[in-house]
Each structure stands twice: as C-alpha cells, then as structure tokens.
A and B are shown apart, each in its own frame.
Chain A
Amino acid sequence: MTSSPLATYQPDQRAASLIGGEATDANLRRYLHGIPGIDAVGLEARAADLGTRSIKTSSKRWAIDTIIGLIDLTTLEGADTPGKVRSLVAKALVPDPGDPGCPRVAAVCVYGDMVGTAVTALGSAHAAGGTEGAGVQRVHVAAVATAFPSGRASLAIKLADVRDSVAAGADEIDMVIDRGAFLAGRFGQVYDEIVAVKDACRRADGSVAHLKVILETGELNTYDNVRRASWLAILAGGDFIKTSTGKVAPAATLPVTLSMLEVVRDWHRLTGVRIGVKPAGGIRTSKDAIKYLVTVAETVGEEWLVPHLFRFGASSLLNDVLLQRQKMTTGHYSGPDYVTID
C-alpha cells in the first residue's frame, strides 16, 4: 500500500487527484456521496461485538498503561485558571504519585489562552523544546481553537485563534469544522477552512503543529455524515480526526469511533498514509477505554495504538484507569481517595 504514489503527494495534490478536480462543493459532493454508505444496525452490532472481548491479565496490564499514554488530559471550562492548568499539568506528568513507574499521559488539552501556562508548567517535559532525554515520554500541549466549541465566528477570527495558540507553543491544534456549512452541503467551505487552519498551524521555523479536526459527530447525527466528514477532513489535510468537543451529547461512542477508524483504514489502503483518531468525551472507565483499544487493534491494527495515531480526549478516565492499575499492582481494590483529583 505504501507504494501508492498518493503517499508522496501534498494533501492538496492528493485531494485533487482523488476527487478529480478542484475542491468545489459539486466535486466534493460527487466524491463523498460515492463512498459506500453505512448500515447503522450492522455498525452498532459490530461495535457491540468488539465490546465483548475479554481482556485479562497480561493483556489488561498492557492495555492500562497504553491507555494512560494515549490520554489527552483535558480541561475546557470557562472557569479554567492558571492554577487549574498547572494542577492538570502536574497530574499529566505524575499521574500516580504512589507509583513512579506509571507512564505519563500524551498531552494536556486546554483553551488557547492557557497554552502558555501549560507550556511553562511542563518545562523540560514539554514535547516541543523540552530537554528531557530519550526514554521519557514528553508531554504535548494541545489547544482547542477556531472558536471552539461552536465554530461560529469569521474565518479571520478562527485563524487568529489558531495562530495565537501556535505562537504560544501549542504542539497540536484541535479545530472544529463548520457543522452548519457541512449540513448545508457547503463541503468546499469546510474543506477550505481546514486547509486554511492547517496553514495557520505553521510555525515561524517552518514546522507545523499537528492538526486534529473535530467533526462534532453528535451534531452531524448520522453515520453517513460522520463518514463523509471524516473523508473530507482527511482530504483537506487533517492529521487526526476527532469525534467531539465534549460539549455536545452524544460525544464519542464506540460505533462512531469504529466508523471513523474504518475511514482511516481505507485511507491507508488507498494512499499508504496513516491518520490518527481521537474519540473525545464520554469515555470514563477503563473498561470502556479497553473496548476502544480492541476496536482500534481489530479495525486498523495495533500499530495504531501509539500517541501519534490514537488519543483519548478525557478528564475523568485517567483516575479510573489508575484505580485499575493499582488493583493490578497490589491485587486488591483501590478507592477514590488513593488517586488525586487532578
């Protein structure tokens, strides 16, 4: 698959070659509507079936540590303060003070105005510009941008929002698509915005912040829409497709994530390029998170279970995983007072 010439193309070349022309509404519609549909019953049944896998003993131990390393530890509240963010960063670096062997999370995810605070708090452990050596996982800073969560602002505002965060040191930008434009059929507009945001992710030194494209699947409503939006986001150059902002119910579900993983799998078959997937919101227990690991492993392959290809957007998940981890380490059940609140 990696022999596909599409692998060497720039995103815009690749999109043009696949959709057979400019990214106009009409061309995109023709392409996106040519993608096979989804039967919701079958999709949900498959997800439920994957959810019955029984992950025990050594597999579970591996899964627990893997989950921690895939978490984007998140705080996205109007009430966020520098203190809250510093506390979050501390938790990201040392999730379990009682066990120094506990891995770090992948990233902290904050609003754009908190990026600087997070970068400072991470210090040498920050992914970009950090000084910690090999063997230690450095932690990324992800910023939500583009008038998160609604995305209802002018393009100029959205791009300024992105540039601010990148300039403040964000390693990753979690943008939202314009669901209104998507639902109205203005696929070209959605596409162009993603391209513009990707461009705004470029730093002065020429490097580029990773772009996660939030589809807000709860608002897209149907699986066919999710699938088309996934293709659209990838065509436009997104590095990750992400389910939700966490501000709209339903947020991530296993069937939605499965449908997005299927797109990522098909994109890899087609182009040889690997795209990441981030379910966000609603995943609160290690039992649920393990179902996602199983779904990733059996849909795209376990090579996807690395931070640059899969993330959990979550806040309370970490503590449940830590409780499970303590249980596996000590052999007895732990309690909420034995994990830190953030």
Chain B
Amino acid sequence: MNRLAIPKTYKLYIGGKFPRSESGRVYEVLSHKGEFLANAAKGSRKDARDAVVAARSALGGWAGATAYNRGQVLYRIAELLEGRRAQFIDEIMSSEGVNAAVASAQVDEAIDRWVWYAGWADKYVQVAGNANPVSGPFFNLSVPEPTGVVAIIAPQGTESLLGLVSAIAPALVAGNTVVVVANETAPLSAISLGEVLATSDVPGGVVNIVTGSPAEIAPWLASHADVNALDLVGAGDLDWVELQISAADTLKRVLPPETGTDAAAPALSRILAFTELKTVWHTKAIL
C-alpha cells in the first residue's frame, strides 16, 4: 500500500539552528534527471554574515575544548552518520544519479574520513609542534593552534557528501569553526549532514552550512574581516583569483581550488593549513 510521503524542508544550518534564508529565497534542487527534489534555501550575504557571527562565538569553546574531547565529538559524527546511511544513500542516488553501490561507497568513505580526522585531534600538535633547543636559559616550545573562523567553498563536483566532509573535517580537527557554502546543485546531503551535526555533540556554531550560490556568497566571505581563513577547494569555477585578492585585505590564509577525484584528499597538511604556529619562551632558572 502506498503511503503519501512527507517531504523535508531543507533549510540553512547556522548557529546550531535551522533557519530559512533571511532573504526568503529558495531555489529548486533537481535530480540528475531534472525532476524536482526539494526547495533549498538560497542563502544571502546576510545569512553568510550571521554564519560568521555564529562561528566566531562558537570558536572559544571549540578551540578551548580538550583535544580528546574534539576527537570524540568528531568520532560521534561518524557514529551518527553510520546510523543514517540509508538516508544519505537515497539522497545521493537521487541527486547524483548513481547506483546504490556507488552511493553507499561514498557514504562509507565519508564516515571513514570523519574517523580518520577524529583520530588526529590529539596527535597533530605532537607531529607538527616542536621543542626548540635555543642557546640560552629558556624553555621554548612551538605548538600549532587553530587559525579561527574558516570559510569554505565546498567541492562542487559529483560526490556532494564526501566533498563536504573532506573540506570541513580537517578544519574542525584543530578547533577552527567553519562557515561552508555547500555544493550548489546537490545541497541536500549538506543539510542532512547539518542534522547529523545538530544531533551529535558538535556545539552549535562550530559548523555553519549555507546553501545557495557560491558565486554570490563567496565574495562576502572572502572580504569579511572576521574570517581568518578561506578554503577555495570548491571555487575552481568561480573567479577565485579575485576571491584570493579580496582575502588579502586582511591577510587571510587561503587554500586554492582543487579539482578531480583527489580534491581535498585526506592529509595532515589540510589540518595544518588552518593552524598558526605559536612559539612560547619561558625563562629557566633554579636560583
């Protein structure tokens, strides 16, 4: 017997809540065959602004959490994603037009990526930090710390969930908070991921997901003075050089676009790209 399904309203994910775009705009998300799937919120510059505010206010708590705690929270995302595999597989199949095997491989890979990055949370400092043997009576230690608020243009290619996870997970490891502009044509798994994040232990505002037009939103993020870093991994089709120039106004750290199946491949370098090395000197004396 056929039950009439209840479709989901896809909204933004900002500050741990799911608001509609303040602009009231939506855009049609279509399947690969061109069928209507949903109306996604078409985020505006003001939504991006709100997302940055949310990310900034969440930064202290997230960056200040213990590394062990951040690792557990990231692992918790994998657990919850695992529990909702079916939903993500469905969304990927319909929006990306791939079969169940391909879709489930993507979801599996996304889950494994959370696990991989979760494990780095309490290790990257050891690998990237240093005790420095200075020639004087000083204790001297260098440690990487989170850069701050990272704005990300998510990969716009075919693997919408994996691309998103690959971009945001490494930024979160060190304790950065994130504003991410989702895959424009396949935004559904992004919002569903927001639901996973909202029900895992990720504090509100640590990840903020804006759907809509990267071309429209990215310039506002690139020029926003309260954004510390800009990951242009999915900005290859935008005028990304202009974005990079704009980001130079406040000396943001910028990662350039990547394309192809290797885009945002898991790497320690992606974690370290959004860290700042801090060196602390302290005098040493027994007298």
Contact = CB atoms under 8 A, between A and B. Distances in A.
Interface of A: 39-42, 44, 221-223
Interface stretch (B61-69, B104-112, B279-287): B279-287
With a 10 A CB-CB cut-off, give which of B136, B137, B138, B287 has the most chain A CB atoms: B287
Interface string B133-148: 0001110000000000
Give me the 9 closest cross-chain CB pairs, A-B, nearest first: A40-B285, A41-B283, A40-B287, A41-B137, A222-B287, A41-B285, A223-B287, A39-B283, A42-B283
Contacts of A39: 283, 285
Interface in B195-240: none
A257 to B, nearest CB: 14
Contacts of B138: 41
Contacts of A40: 283, 285-287
A252 B284 CA distance: 22
A39 B286 CA distance: 10
Nearest to A256: B287
Contacts of B137: 41
Given A42-B283, A222-B286, A222-B287, 7 more contacts: A39-B285, A40-B285, A40-B286, A40-B287, A41-B136, A41-B284, A221-B287
Interface string B105-137: 000000000000000000000000000000011
Nearest to B282: A41
B48 to A, nearest CB: 48
A30 to B, nearest CB: 23
A221 B138 CA distance: 20
Interface in B242-287: 283-287
A325 to B, nearest CB: 35
18 contacts: A39-B283, A39-B285, A40-B283, A40-B285, A40-B286, A40-B287, A41-B136, A41-B137, A41-B138, A41-B283, A41-B284, A41-B285, A42-B283, A44-B285, A221-B287, A222-B286, A222-B287, A223-B287
A40 B283 CA distance: 8
A39 B137 CA distance: 11
Contacts of A221: 287
A295 to B, nearest CB: 18
Nearest to B136: A41
Nearest to B285: A40
B83 to A, nearest CB: 56
Contacts of B136: 41
A44 B286 CA distance: 13
B102 to A, nearest CB: 63
A119 B285 CA distance: 46
A44 B138 CA distance: 13
Contacts of B284: 41
Contacts of A223: 287
A193 to B, nearest CB: 26
Nearest to B287: A40
B76 to A, nearest CB: 45
Nearest to B137: A41
B187 to A, nearest CB: 57
A42 B138 CA distance: 11
Contacts of A41: 136-138, 283-285
Nearest to A220: B287
A222 B287 CA distance: 4
B283 to A, nearest CB: 4
B153 to A, nearest CB: 48
Contacts of B287: 40, 221-223
A80 B138 CA distance: 47
B280 to A, nearest CB: 15
A223 B137 CA distance: 16
A39 B138 CA distance: 12
A158 to B, nearest CB: 29
B138 to A, nearest CB: 7
A212 to B, nearest CB: 24
Contacts of B285: 39-41, 44
B208 to A, nearest CB: 45
Contacts of A222: 286-287
Nearest to A225: B287
A191 B286 CA distance: 26
With a 10 A CB-CB cut-off, give which of B138, B284, B285, B286 has the most chain A CB atoms: B285
